[in-house]
Structure 1
Amino acid sequence: MNLILEGTDQVKFFTNIKEVFSALNISCHDYDWFVSDIETNDLVISEGWHSGFELEKTITSNDVQFIWAVFSAFPIGTRFAVAEPPYVDGNSNYWNASEPKPQLEKLFLK
């Protein structure tokens, strides 16, 4: 996503996840999603697992702007218990200029 953030006209507002997914050429319904650390202008989505169809319906039928959120994509049918949801707000690993690592990867690989 860093390429999108550096001087692009692909996305008018980076808080509009619908535009971000489009610029990344990602189709919501190709994945199951774990969404966490959510702060929006209008909370229309809850933290936890969502099918791609549910997520797509939510972001296309609501004028929601995401201030913070972590969207973790997994192959359809991949759901597991998440004790520590991924987060970005206050996550020093994200903000210290190092390469951020997936926070759910270890759970998925077990």
Structure 2
Amino acid sequence: MNWIIRSTKTVKYHTNLKEILKPIWENLGDYHWIITDIDFMSDTELPINFNADYFFLTHAEFERIFQSNAQIIWGIISAVPQDSAIDFGKVSTLSAENICVWECNEFQIHQSIVEITAFDSGYTIVKFKDQKLSEKFKDYFQNQALDLQAFNDK
């Protein structure tokens, strides 16, 4: 339930959340979002910036990013249950460059049900704890979503 997208015809650029989350977006309405270690480009004003180490967003706030054409260059984006107890001191120190992003089933934000890591505009790593969401994602991206373990074994 761990995927990597390296090159694709479906995604215009890495990491466009509207395209990455398209097959599962309808299933994520009950979650809040954590964004940390972010670097991005956008031509519209978003509820994220470069003045904070992390952002904790409601679904409605995150939807503004989802609907935009923002390109996430670096960052960790996680969907978490609304009632999660989050250690924001730890969240503020997380990094998309941590070696664990390449390890299967290793979530930097342990409460995540979906964790997306944008890695230098060239890789998008998507990890799932929910089998059905993972299957919907894989069915949509087909051979463009590579199994993370198989990718690491090469």
- Where does residue 21 of structure 1 map in the other structure? 21
Q: What is the deviation of 1:8? A: 4.6
Inter-partner Cα distance in structure 1 for 2:60 and 2:18 = 13
Asked if 2 retains the 8 angstrom alpha-carbon contact of 1:32 and 1:78, the reply is: no
Gaps of 5+ in 1: none
Higher relative contact order (CA 8 A, sep 6+): 2
Which of 37, 55, 59 is the matching residue for 1:52?
59
Using structure 2 for the length normalisation, give the TM-score.
0.53
Amino acid at match of 2:84: T
- Where does residue 66 of structure 1 map in the other structure? 72
Question: 2:30 aligned with 1:30, yes or no?
Answer: yes
The aligned length equals 100
Amino acid at match of 1:69: G
Q: What is the deviation of 1:35? A: 0.8
Give the share of equivalent positions with the same residue, in percent: 24
Q: What is the deviation of 1:49? A: 0.8
Q: What is the deviation of 1:69? A: 1.5
Deviation sequence 1:59-108 (CA, Å, 0-9, x none): 31x3311001211111123353411223212x12224xx325112217xx
Using structure 1 for the length normalisation, give the TM-score.
0.70
Over the aligned positions, Cα root-mean-square deviation in angstroms equals 2.6
* Secondary structure, counterpart of 2:39 in structure 1: strand
Asked if 1 retains the 8 angstrom alpha-carbon contact of 2:101 and 2:107, the reply is: no
- Where does residue 96 of structure 2 map in the other structure? 88
Asked if 1 retains the 8 angstrom alpha-carbon contact of 2:33 and 2:77, the reply is: yes
